[in-house]
Amino acid sequence: MMFSLRELEMSFKDSAFERMPMIERQRVLILFLLFLIIVPTFPRTLFVCSSSSTGTKILFPIADSYVDSDERDHNFGEEERLQVYYYKWLFITKQRFAYLMFNLSGIPTGINIVSADLQLFAESAQAALNIGAHYCSDDSWEETEITWDNKPSWSEEPTDIENVNASNSWFNWNIKSDVERVLQSNDTLLTFLLTPEETGDKDLTVVFYSGQVELAEYRPKLVITYNKIQPSLSLDPIGNQQQYTAFPISGGFNPAQPRIVVNLTITDPNGVTTSKVTETDAEGKFNISFEANEIGVWSVTANSEGNDFFEGATSNAIHFNVIEKENTWIDFIYEYWWIPLVAILIVIFLLIPF
């Protein structure tokens, strides 16, 4: 809405304003006009935000077991339960630790992790027990071989501590930082162990379900939430091409997306489309061979539907010109091969007497 200076002046029938000198009034009116012009632009400039969709990946352990300080050479890898135990009385101390290993190879490096929670279902908890989740860099242990005596070492500082205080309940440990650490190191295996974080004379036990339990919904799991990557898809320029001559159509993703299906739509000068399907290589590139049969301007676009970790993407269309094929001496021979054959037959016919 536009106002004249006179209309604005009439709107300020305030005694303080009336006592202002004329030059001060003009300054106030100018500032007010600037306010009316600038403020409506704020929502368009200051509150622009972008959103990306999230995904969730649930991983189950590829190995889990617990170790017992009271049975130092015994393996519990085939048990359907994992135990975390703390006992101390005077100078006697007994403990049980639970080990779990996950395979992260299905999660691409460079992805933005929103959260990563280690989740276990407590079948029984006699009393509240503080249990710490510790990162373990040694992934060489075997589920059916690990014991108290050969257990791998671990980070002394727990990544997270959870107070397990109820039976038949799920409990979570936030291990996002260690999941990111493993992914950034291009490792594929992640080992965690659960230990009691207690002091003083106590007798506390928590029993969790292991990965061997028959009911899959109660098995331990690692729940990873992430922001899907939004890549750009582009095609490499194509110069003039000759009719009936094979040439490459290539392109790729940025950032690189390996083993992604790419659909190519190729349109000839008459508007007829041809579809081609290819897949990116380990570097996120693709390349197909194509042969154009029509003279004129062609176009090609590429698109990908994405997957669990990557948003779909569509490239800009690129255009290229197909010109008439220039004949070589090989093409000449291929086209007129019958002429020398006829000449040879005529010579034979003239030289052989009948």
Domain boundaries, the chain: 5-46, 54-227, 232-329
Annotation: CATH topology of 54-227: Jelly Rolls (2.60.120)
Higher pLDDT, 219 or 255: 219
Give the per-residue pLDDT at 1. Answer: 46
DSSP class of 229 = B
Q: How confident is the model at residue 52 (pLDDT cuts 50, 70, 90)?
A: low
Tell me the β-bridge partners of 297. 321
- In the chain, what's the furthest Cα-to-Cα distance? 134
> In 3D, which of 304, 320, 323 has the Cα closest to residue 312?
304
**pLDDT value at 218 more than 50:** yes
CB-based burial label for 82 (10 Å; 0-12, 13-18, 19+): buried
| Beta-sheet strand order (sheet of 285-291) | 232-235, 246-254, 285-291
Give the per-residue pLDDT at 306. Answer: 85
Give the per-residue pLDDT at 40. Answer: 43
SS3 4: coil
CATH architecture classification, 232-329: Sandwich (2.60)
Tell me the β-bridge partners of 131. 162, 196
**pLDDT value at 64 more than 70:** yes
Tens of pLDDT, residues 65-80: 999 999 999 999 999 9
Output the pTM of the full model. Answer: 0.70
| Residues 116, 223: Cα–Cα separation, whole Å | 6
| Residues 311, 299: Cα–Cα separation, whole Å | 24
> In 3D, which of 228, 179, 197 has the Cα closest to residue 55?
228
Give the per-residue pLDDT at 328. Answer: 64
> In 3D, which of 178, 179, 208 has the Cα closest to residue 196?
208
Tokens 């036990």 found at: 205
- On the question of a common fold for 54-227 and 232-329, the answer reads no
Of 30-39, 144-153, 274-283, 298-307, the range with the lowest mean pLDDT is 30-39
Higher pLDDT, 251 or 10: 251
| Residues 75, 98: Cα–Cα separation, whole Å | 12
Average confidence (pLDDT) over 115-126? 96
